[in-house]
Amino acid sequence: MRNVLITGGAGFIGSNFIRYLLNHDAAEKLVNLDALTYAGHLENLVDIQSDSRYLFIQGDIRNRPLLDALFAEHELDTVVNFAAETHVDRSIEDPALFLNVNVGGTQTLLEAALQHWRLKPDDKHCREYRRGCGFLQVSTDEVYGSLPPAAPSFREDSPLKPNSPYSASKASADQFVRAYHQTYGLPCSISRCCNNFGPYQFPEKLIPLMILNALADKPLPLYGDGLQIRDWLYVEDQCSALKAILDNGQFGDIYNIGATNEFSNLEIVRMILHELGKPESLIEHVVDRPGHDRRYALDNSRITNELGWRPAHTFRKALKATIDWYLNNHTWVEQMTNTSYQDYYARMYAADTP
Ligand code: NAD
Ligand code: TYD
């Protein structure tokens, strides 16, 4: 039985993960700490909000007194840190926020875990921790930077070469996790996943944005030539990978979570249009994202060989299921695409036609 702190659990992957754990591990007690930024929504969790194993707390991972109270009151022994600012385009507009939340927030969480789990909290040489404690940092393939077209996929020991303020903040947070493990012996691991898609993804990201624009017969804004490549994983497969790391992963290790589903953005958009029966004339090439990474791809060998994890979903079926989910969840879509999202969209895409 674990008492798990899930940070950022009202966002896309966090909410799917909470649902996944509740459905796959009856013994968990789950505390969801989320600041409810523009990206966090309790609407993502309505079906499980009254589950007795689940508790929501609104708050910020940078709030140390709040963290101390939660660790003490709920005897937390596991942290899964999803909380972050996550959109590359927003990081280009406001890098300081990403530094503050993603790096500062992770370090605050690490420090709280250290203080509450260390057997002798005041002894700087103590490397012993309460049994069963563990910290999992949810990171991204973007920390490795951009991969040339024919180059082999990134391995866990590939150098970190982040290119955007978002990926720089995630890489930096990863380094703090590593440092807490090396210096203090804190039981930590890191997962680095490729691009996720699936239910409850906020509409600013590629796949939901293109689905919703196509449904409304609005232009589909493809950055640059649209030939940038991403590796796409269905969110439920990311959840099963994270659970495999929690259950059987080694502290001090990093686990790449890749899907081996490399597609260009243009291919993705064409598949969405085809599925919805909409014309390709809706595609509009707009000015490229500054510093846009050309390709990401991950070598999965460690997690598949050591933990026996495999994705359970094929890309095309999962994309269809995702499209169906957006088609069938009008109320959720309306809640997400409110005035502030419209303002964001107008500001972000207004002057983008080359
Ligand atoms: P998201 O933007 O949908 O959700 C982020 C959540 O964090 C939101 O609920 C938000 O309210 C919360 N949050 C933000 N700042 C906070 C703070 N200071 N304190 C507490 N809560 C805060 O993001 P997501 O797509 O679900 O990503 C979750 C994690 O997975 C992130 O760490 C991200 O870097 C990582 N990741 C995402 C992907 C992807 O494709 N989406 C891929 C690899 C890794
Ligand atoms: P995104 O979903 O923002 O994820 P990330 O930048 O973290 O990979 O974008 C995925 C890809 O889609 C990326 O190459 C940028 C591109 N993209 C567009 O071409 N147009 C858009 O409107 C958006 C949001 C993304």
Domain boundaries, the chain: 3-197+232-257
Return the amino acid letter for 155: R
Share of the chain above pLDDT 70, in %: 98
Which tokens in the block code for residue 304? Answer: 């598949």
Catalytic residue check, 25 = no
Catalytic residue among 20, 144, 166, 326: 166
CB 296 within 8 A of CB 264: no
> Best mutation site among 5, 6, 12 for ligand 1, i.e. most ligand atoms within 8 A of its Cβ?
12
Of 279, 280, 160, the C-alpha closest to 226 is 280
Check if 272 has its Cβ closer than 6 Å to any atom of ligand 2. no
d(CA 10, CA 82): 10
Catalytic residue check, 141 = yes
CA–centroid distance, residue 149 to ligand 1 (Å):
28
Which tokens in the block code for residue 222? Answer: 């493809």
Check if 295 has its Cβ closer than 6 Å to any atom of ligand 2. no
Query: Is the pTM for the entire model greater than 0.95?
Result: yes
Name the band, by pLDDT with cuts 50, 70 and 90, for residue 28: confident
Longest dimension (CA), the chain: 66
Instruction: Report the CATH number of the 3-197+232-257 domain.
Output: 3.40.50.720
Residue 327 DSSP SS3: helix
pLDDT tens string 64-90: 999 999 999 999 999 999 999 999 999
- The neighbouring-strand residues paired with 220 are 283
Q: What is the mean pLDDT of residues 338-347?
A: 95
d(CA 252, CA 97): 28
Check if 193 has its Cβ closer than 6 Å to any atom of ligand 2. no
Check if 209 has its Cβ closer than 6 Å to any atom of ligand 2. yes
pLDDT tens string 210-241: 999 999 999 999 999 999 999 999 999 999 99
Check if 16 has its Cβ closer than 6 Å to any atom of ligand 1. no
Please report the pLDDT score of residue 27 as a whole number.
Answer: 65
In 103-215, where does DSSP find H-type helix?
A: 105-117, 165-184, 206-215
d(CA 202, CA 192): 20
Contacts of 214 (CB under 8 A, 6+ apart): 220, 272, 273, 276, 278, 282
Residue 130 DSSP SS3: coil
Of 260, 276, 117, 287, the C-alpha closest to 188 is 117
Of 96, 66, 88, the C-alpha closest to 5 is 66
Please report the pLDDT score of residue 136 as a whole number.
Answer: 98
Name the band, by pLDDT with cuts 50, 70 and 90, for residue 1: confident
Q: How far is CA 320 from the centre of its chain?
A: 21
Interstrand relation of 262-264 and 229-234 (parallel, antiparallel or unpaired): antiparallel
Which tokens in the block code for residue 127? Answer: 């490397």
Catalytic residue check, 85 = no
Atom of ligand 2 nearest to the CA of 207: 2
Task: For residue 231, give Cα distances in angstroms to 104, 154, 226.
Answer: 28, 12, 14
